[in-house]
């Protein structure tokens, strides 16, 4: 049974169904969208049940010749990393739709676009051939553009254009890079390319085109990925896009789409260009640190809550990159510490999942605030919300502390492992990165103090309902998962331990 194809295309089937049902009532449209969005979670759990956690390679592979003249295969496969992200998508996707439950505008159109987006993201996580991987990668931009533009706030049009042009610009370079790779090797299959790269054939073939080609191609692919993540300083599209997007879309953007970039780093850039990454790593480490430290400090200055969380998102995703670049920097050194590499890579994977959860929950919380305040979401528009809505305050607080990295919640484990790994590989980077940890706590507590503490003022002065109904249904599972994963990280690490081990064994080669 082509389970992975089901996972990828089920949301699209849902989108098609919604597109056909022109006269569907809003409630029906929402229900259909939610059901097909949940299909990812259900199928993800089915895959999880059949997944062999001891095997490092791809499982449930599907492969079929597609365009023989271009040597393009339809090739799907799933390993621990993909599974992690599929599950994350399965959680964040429905949560995003639930966050948009009472949103004005046509729920049918929203559902169609959202499901297309979800399907594309899943395609990116499961595709193993650049050709359709790139199709999914680019396809995800289209629904996001319309979602931001049509349902976003005042500056949405500009933010949406900026987002699309920026990421599209990055992707163009990536496409050109892969065109060169295809010209040199005649294949676009990730696995084959990684093998070619490991054997040194890829670099040789590219050099045959001209001695500077390996570097040019690397830079091209790198730019495409770096903009998507985003790596500092390619991040300027992110705050407006996250801030202007409707809450459900912001959740998906930060929860899933930023992971697409990290995923591309791990799946494409790192296996295919290890040498170039190693050479560029000292510089890249500074960029990642820039994201960690300056992202957190910039968040301190934001008065728009969504922008604040957007910046914290930059900060948190940069931790993943920090770990990855530290590994790249240390690759090839004789004294490289295996446990440190293991911790860095494992921590980065955990961080991807954990940040997806906590950032989605935080965006959702801001959405709740926004809905109560009639669209306002400034730091000064609220005060004393905790008195008015204690349950909401508690849930939001847990999400916030998870993001700060409080032990006992999920955020801690990933960050601890990342820092443990980075410290073992590039100690100074870990020391500087600590500044980011400090600043994160600082701005989150400021947010908490201004919005939740003090006497009731601003939007919280009058009627301010506590979370109820759909909001509870969305938020409580996310929060519960944070606590469970904080106490039992083995639930996640068990999925990708063999994968991490195999990565480490490949690096350890002299």
Partner 1 sequence: MNLSASSLWLIPALPLLAAAIGALTPRGGRSLASGAAIIAMVGALGLSVAALGTALAHPAAHLTDNFTWFSIGTDAVRLGWLLDPLTAFMAVMVSFVGLLIFIFSLGYMKEDANFTRFFCFLSLFAAAMLGVLVANSLLLVFVCWELVGLASYLLIGFWFHKPSAAAAAKKAFITTRIGDLGLLLGMLWLYHVRGTLLFYDGGNGVLEPSSLALLSHGKIAGGIALSTAIGLLIFCGAIGKSGQFPLHVWLPDAMEGPTPVSALIHAATMVAAGVFLIARVYPLMLADQHLANVSVHALTVVAGIGAITALLGAAIAVGQNDIKRVLAFSTVSQLGYMMLALGVGSWVAAIFHLLTHAFFKALLFLGAGSVIHAAHHEQDMRRLGGLGRRMKITFATFAVGMMALAGVPFLFSGFWSKEGILHAAHAWPVSQLPLIAGLIAVVLTAFYMTRLVAEVFLGSPRSDAASHAHENSPVMTVPLVILAIGAVLLGLIGTPAWPWLQSNLGGVVVPAESIFEGPGLMVLSIVLVCLGLGVGWALYGWRKRRDAFAPDPLAVAMPGVFAALAAKLGFDEFYALTFGRLNQLLAVVADGLDRWVWGGIISGVAWMGEALGTFDREMDESGLNGGFDAASEKLRGVGNAYSRAQTGEAHGYLRTLAVAFVVLALLLLLGGVL
Q: Rounded to whole angstroms, what are the CA distances from 425 to 179, 279, 434, 470?
A: 34, 15, 15, 45
Beta carbons within 10 angstroms of residue 138's beta carbon: 17
Q: How far is the CB of 12 from partner 1 (least distance, A)?
A: 34
Contact call for residue 200 and partner 1 (CB under 8 A) = no
Q: Can you tell me which of 205, 235, 267, 377 binds partner 1, judged by CB under 8 A?
A: 235
Q: Establish if 353 lies at the interface with partner 1 (CB under 8 A).
A: no
Q: Which is nearer to partner 1, 158 or 195 (CB)?
A: 158
Query: CA 273, CA 257: separation in Å to the nearest integer?
Result: 23
Applying CB under 8 A, does 428 fall inside the site for partner 1?
A: no
Q: Is 488 in the site for partner 1 (CB under 8 A)?
A: yes
Per CB under 8 A, 337 contacts partner 1: yes
CB of 227 to partner 1, least distance (A): 12
Q: Which stretch binds partner 1 (CB under 8 A): 257-265, 271-279, 357-365, 497-505?
A: 497-505
CB of 435 to partner 1, least distance (A): 8
Q: Which is nearer to partner 1, 31 or 408 (CB)?
A: 408
- Cα-atom radius of gyration of the chain, to the nearest Å? 22
CB of 341 to partner 1, least distance (A): 8
Instruction: State how far the Cα of 154 lies from the Cα of 440, in Å rounded to an integer.
Output: 28
Contact (CB, 8 A) for 411 and 354: yes
Q: Give, as ranges, the residues between 258 and 317 that touch partner 1 (CB under 8 A).
A: 293-298, 300-302
CA 94/CA 39 separation, integer angstroms: 9
Q: Which of 91, 317, 413, 460 binds partner 1 (CB under 8 A)?
A: 413
**Per CB under 8 A, 452 contacts partner 1:** yes
Q: Are 424 and 343 in contact (CB under 8 A)?
A: yes
> Does residue 323 touch partner 1 according to CB under 8 A?
no
Site stretch for partner 1 (CB under 8 A), options 94-102, 208-216, 367-375, 433-441: 433-441
Alpha carbon 484 to its chain's center = 21
What is the token pair recorded at 401?
């502390």
Q: Binding pattern to partner 1, positions 356-385, x when CB under 8 A?
A: ----------------------------x-
Q: Which SS3 state, helix, strand or coil, does residue 104 take?
A: coil
Residues 6+ apart with CB under 8 A from 270: 277, 324, 328
What DSSP element (H or E) covers 110? helix 107-126
Q: Can residue 318 be called a binding residue for partner 1 (CB under 8 A)? A: no
Q: 440 near 315, Cβ under 8 Å?
A: yes
Cα dihedral angle (306, 307, 310, 316), rounded to 10 degrees? -110
How far apart (Å, rounded) are the C-alpha atoms in residues 468 and 475?
A: 10
In degrees and rounded to multiples of 5, residue 42 shows phi and psi of -65, -50
Binding region for partner 1 (CB under 8 A) out of 5-13, 209-217, 244-252, 412-420 = 412-420
Identify the residue among 30, 149, 372, 420 touching partner 1 (CB under 8 A): 420
**DSSP-derived secondary structure for 112-130:** HHHHHHHHHHHHHHHB-BH
> In this chain, which stretch among 41-49, 362-370, 401-409, 474-482 interacts with partner 1, using CB under 8 A?
401-409
Is the Cβ of residue 61 or residue 303 nearer to partner 1 in the bound state?
A: 303
Interface residues with partner 1 (CB under 8 A)? 233, 235-236, 239, 293-298, 300-302, 337, 339-340, 342-343, 345-347, 384, 386-387, 390, 394, 401, 406-408, 412-413, 416-417, 419-420, 423-424, 427, 430-431, 434, 437-439, 441-442, 445-446, 448-449, 452-456, 488-490, 493-494, 497, 500-501, 504
């Amino acid at each position: 049974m082509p389970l992975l194809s089901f996972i990828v295309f089920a949301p699209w089937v849902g989108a098609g169904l919604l597109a056909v049902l022109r006269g569907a009532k809003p409630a029906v449209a929402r229900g259909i969208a939610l059901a097909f969005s949940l299909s990812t979670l259900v199928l993800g759990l089915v895959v999880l049940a059949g997944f062999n956690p001891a095997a490092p390679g791809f499982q449930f592979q599907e492969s079929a010749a597609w365009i023989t003249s271009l040597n393009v295969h339809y090739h799907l496969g799933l390993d621990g990393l993909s599974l992690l992200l599929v599950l994350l998508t399965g959680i964040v996707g429905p949560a995003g739709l639930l966050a948009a439950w009472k949103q004005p505008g046509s729920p049918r159109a929203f559902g169609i676009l959202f499901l297309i987006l979800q399907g594309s993201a899943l395609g990116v996580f499961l595709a193993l051939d650049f050709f359709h991987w790139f199709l999914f990668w680019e396809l995800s931009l289209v629904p996001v553009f319309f979602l931001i533009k049509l349902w976003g706030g005042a500056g949405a049009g500009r933010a949406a254009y900026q987002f699309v042009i920026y990421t599209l610009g990055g992707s163009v370079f990536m496409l050109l890079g892969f065109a060169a790779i295809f010209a040199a090797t005649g294949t676009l299959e990730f696995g084959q390319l990684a093998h070619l790269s490991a054997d040194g054939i890829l670099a040789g073939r590219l050099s045959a085109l001209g001695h500077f080609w390996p570097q040019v191609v690397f830079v091209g692919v790198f730019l495409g990925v770096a903009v998507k993540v985003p790596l500092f300083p390619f991040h300027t599209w992110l705050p407006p896009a996250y801030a202007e997007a409707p809450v459900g879309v912001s959740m998906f953007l930060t929860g899933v789409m930023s992971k697409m970039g990290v995923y591309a780093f791990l799946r494409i850039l790192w296996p295919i260009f290890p040498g170039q990454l190693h050479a560029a790593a000292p510089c890249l480490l500074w960029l990642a640190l820039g994201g960690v430290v300056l992202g957190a400090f910039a968040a301190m200055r934001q008065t728009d809550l969504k922008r604040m969380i957007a910046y914290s998102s930059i900060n948190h995703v940069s931790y993943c990159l920090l770990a990855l670049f530290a590994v790249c920097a240390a690759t090839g050194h004789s004294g490289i510490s295996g446990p440190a590499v293991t911790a860095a890579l494992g921590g980065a994977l955990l961080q991807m999942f954990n940040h997806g959860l906590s950032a989605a929950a935080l965006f959702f919380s801001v959405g709740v605030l926004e809905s109560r305040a009639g669209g306002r979401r400034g730091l000064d528009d609220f005060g004393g919300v905790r008195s008015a809505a204690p349950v909401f305050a508690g849930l939001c607080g847990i999400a916030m502390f998870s993001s700060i990295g409080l032990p006992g919640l999920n955020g801690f484990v990933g960050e601890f492992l990342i820092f443990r790994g980075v410290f073992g590989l590039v100690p100074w980077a870990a020391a500087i990165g600590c500044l980011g940890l400090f600043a994160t706590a600082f701005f989150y507590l400021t947010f908490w103090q201004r919005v939740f503490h003090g006497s009731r003022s601003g939007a919280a002065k009058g009627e301010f309902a506590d979370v109820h109904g759909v909001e509870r249904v969305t938020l409580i599972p996310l929060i519960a998962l944070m606590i469970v994963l904080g106490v039992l990280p083995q639930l996640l690490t068990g999925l990708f331990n063999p994968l991490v081990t195999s990565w480490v064994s490949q690096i350890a080669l002299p």
